Amino acid sequence: MTQADDTIRVLIPLKVRKKNGRPKILPPADYLPSEDQTQDPHVLRAIGRAWGWRRRMDDGEFSTIQELAEAVGLAERHVSRQLRLAYLAPEVLKRLTCAREASAVSLYDLCFLAGEAWAEQAKRAV
């Protein structure tokens, strides 16, 4: 049998936050991820989706963002904002997708950054 003196207590400094309605465990502020997992998979998925949507619009499958939004079942505002990722500077895309560097800005801010000049994007994105 174990006695009260034999008990070991382990404290792990984690925070639980809700993201998209689901609980997500956040690591401590001083935690640095390993080199192979620095890029957020949500950014990669959003960039891929934006390029797919851009290709479909360029092929003439959809003539407006509203038609595209209805076809994919998302809000027009969301599709419009995410579609901007297909117009990021080539240097920024290369760093985000090939080099898998972590972005210094959030996915939301990255969508708005796409409207800026390519030189400005390179300075602020990564």
User: Does 76 fall in a domain?
Assistant: yes
The answer on pLDDT for 112 being more than 70 is yes
Q: Note whether residue 29 is domain-resident.
A: no
Q: How much is the pLDDT for 35?
A: 53
Is pLDDT of 38 > 70? no
CB atoms under 10 Å from CB of 87, counted, come to 14
Average pLDDT, the chain: 81
Q: 18 CB contacts (<8 Å, ≥6 apart)?
A: 24
Q: Is residue 75 part of a domain?
A: yes
Determine the structural domain holding residue 44 and report its residue range: 39-125
Overall average pLDDT of the 91-110 stretch = 77
> How many structural domains does the chain have?
1
**Who has greater pLDDT, 96 or 34?**
96
Confidence of residue 92 (pLDDT cuts 50, 70, 90): confident
Half-sphere exposure for 120 (CA within 13 Å, toward CB):
7
pLDDT tens for residues 49-73?
999 999 999 999 999 999 999 999 9
User: Residue 22: helix, strand or coil by DSSP?
Assistant: strand
Label residue 72 exposed, middle or buried (CB < 10 Å: 0-12, 13-18, 19+): middle
CB 116 within 8 A of CB 52: no
